[in-house]
Copies of this chain bind each other. A is one copy, B any other.
Amino acid sequence: MMRATSTLLARFQHPAQVVAAGFAVAIALGALLLSLPAATAEGVSAGWLNALFTAASAVCVTGLVLVDTEAHWSVFGEVVIAGLAQVGGLGIMTMATVFTLLVSGRLGLRARIAAQTETKSLSMSDVRRLVLKVVAFSLVCEAVTAAVLTGRFVLGYGESFGRALYLGVFHAVTAFNSAGFTLWPDSLMRFVTDPWICLTVAIAAIVGGLGFPVVFELARLWRQPSKWTVLTRITVGTSVILLVSGTLVFLATEWRNPATLGGLDDGHKLMAAFFTAVMPRSAGFNVLDIGQMYPSSWLATDLLMFIGGGSAGTAGGIKVTTFGMLAFIVWTEMRGESRVNIGRRRLPETTQRQVVTITVLGVALVAVSTYVLLALTPYKLDQVLFEVISAFGTTGLSTGITASLGTPGHVLLAVLMFIGRIGPLTLGSALALNRRTRRYELPEERVIVG
């Protein structure tokens, strides 16, 4: 046990391989289960591509689908999908939390592991305690979400308790883990005027996607913002700005669109626009018909999906923290300041370069993938870019072209979901943990920019 422990900890020096291997194994096992005849409603195997794509989509908590979940899969298949989403969500939260604390050099309230963080390692008991905390937190959030949803399905829609509980638990799991799978062919569109469903799902998605370290700090210190860490400040600040501006953009753009907001009264317009602004962070449910939204709304959604949610949670994308720090770097430079200061703390130069690296590599990956998918399919940039960013950001929203992208397109999306899920986290951690230094410095040379 002790040897296994030290091996595990040694591996944290190169976390990318561990995380990637873990997710790959989960996807392979999931694909195996989903390719069983018992996994489909018709009792015949779903085929390797559909099984693999669905397993990748579930483990990477994305929610892109090639087939209608309820119609195609059996109850066993649906349970496997929810289980994979749970494993993927817990896995990424646990890994990301451990890495976050390694990188920030802070573990909860106590600074008692200061010695270990110097050598970039945590004791096994610390890791075990953390994992238990993450699991407990997830299960409690999912239980509360499931209870509200179950009650609503019984009381508001006349479902039997058993069916309501099944629906409640399934969607609590997919909502909290930002997995985006639903058991209705139109996602949550039928609930567009139901605040019990809309707001419960939205809140579960926000909490799950905010990230464990931030949620716990908020639980302790929500009354004392002056004591918040920089991570919490940026996450909360950027999230509020993106949610408010996203809601306003969708309200303004879709207000008169008869196929989306047009038919709703003003209060429901507001709720639907808010829901639509929450879902790109990256839960991926929808109450409006994405395929009927205007291309300008698609572009706004693209940007929100690329940014995603909070670090060390179930959300994907480059993360609101990365985006917020990028904005701060630009703002600092425009003011002519020589140091990037956020909330009385200075942002290290290395962190600044990590922000730039994650963002640039994300843009590059999206650009190249979009080029390839454009060349492979007859679709245009609007829909292809949306699909690519939805996969990269593990969002799962779609304009409706997922199923018809062909085998190479499906493989590309599956790879994007995988990279999008583990890439920013492991890359960020690897960059933060591995650092070489030169013994000497070269002379500077200033170069004109722009």
Minimum C-beta distance from A231 to chain B (A): 5
A325: B residues at CB distance < 8 A: 447, 449
**Is there a chain B Cβ closer than 8 Å to A294's Cβ?**
yes
A230, A299, A329: residue with the most chain B Cβ atoms closer than 10 Å: A299
A344: chain B residues within 8 A (beta carbon)? 442
Q: How far is the CB of A443 from chain B (nearest CB, A)?
A: 6
A351 proximity list for chain B (CB < 8 A): 446-447, 449
Residue A290 at the B interface, CB < 8 A?
A: no
Contact across chains for B321 and A447 when beta carbons are under 8 A apart:
yes
Contact A374 B231 (CB under 8 A): no
A265 at the interface (CB under 8 A from B): no
Q: Contacts A380-B381, A380-B382: A354 and B449 contacting too (C-beta < 8 A)?
A: yes
The minimal Cβ–Cβ distance linking A39 to chain B, given in whole angstroms, is 34
Give A97's nearest chain B residue, CB to CB: B448
Which residues of the partner chain B approach A435 to less than 8 Å between Cβ atoms? Answer: 336, 338
8 Å CB interface, A352-409 against B? 352-358, 360-361, 367, 370-372, 374-375, 380-382, 384-385
How far is A54 from B447 in the complex, measured between Cα atoms in Å?
A: 33
Q: What is the size category of the interface that chain A forms with chain B?
A: 35 or more
Among A310-348, those with CB < 8 Å from B are 311-312, 318-319, 321-322, 325-327, 329-330, 332-342, 344-348
Q: Taking A326-B356, A336-B436, A449-B358 as contacts, is the C-beta distance between A348 and B231 under 8 angstroms? A: no
User: Which residues from 224 to 274 on chain A have a C-beta closer than 8 Å to any C-beta of chain B?
Assistant: 229-231, 234, 249, 253
Q: Kindly identify which residue among B299, B333, B371, B438 contacts A356, using a CB–CB cutoff of 8 Å.
A: B333
A431 to B449 CA separation, bound complex (whole angstroms): 9
- A434 interfacial contact with B, CB 8 Å: yes
User: How far, in Å, is A283 (CB) from chain B's closest CB?
Assistant: 19
Q: Does A37 contact B (CB under 8 A)?
A: no
Give the CA-CA distance A312 to B448 in the complex, in Å: 9
- Asked if A444 lies at the interface with its beta carbon under 8 angstroms from chain B, I say yes
In contact, B445 and A360 (Cβ under 8 angstroms): no
Counting every copy of the chain, the complex holds 2
A104 within 8 A of B: yes
Asked whether any CB of chain B lies closer than 8 Å to the CB of A437, the reply is yes
In the complex where A335-B436, A436-B338, A442-B345 touch, is A231 in contact with B448 (Cβ < 8 A)?
yes
A295-B374, A295-B381, A330-B361 known; A346 and B450 CB under 8 Å? no
The minimal Cβ–Cβ distance linking A222 to chain B, given in whole angstroms, is 20
A43-51, A74-82, A421-429: which one contacts chain B?
A421-429
**Interface assignment of A300: CB less than 8 Å from any CB of chain B:** yes
Interface residue? A153 (CB, 8 A): no
Asked if A432 is at the interface of the complex by the 8 Å CB criterion, the answer is yes
A230 to B319 alpha-carbon distance, docked (Å): 34
A348 to B449, CA, bound (A): 12
Q: How far is the CA of A312 from the CA of B5 in the complex (A)?
A: 58
A318 to B448, CA, bound (A): 11
Q: List 21 A-B contacts (CB under 8 A).
A: A100-B448, A103-B446, A230-B445, A231-B448, A234-B447, A294-B374, A296-B371, A299-B381, A300-B371, A318-B450, A321-B447, A330-B361, A336-B434, A344-B442, A347-B447, A348-B444, A352-B356, A354-B449, A380-B382, A429-B448, A432-B446
- Can you add 9 more A-B contacts, CB < 8 Å, to A333-B357, A346-B445? A96-B448, A99-B448, A295-B374, A296-B372, A311-B450, A332-B353, A336-B431, A336-B435, A354-B449
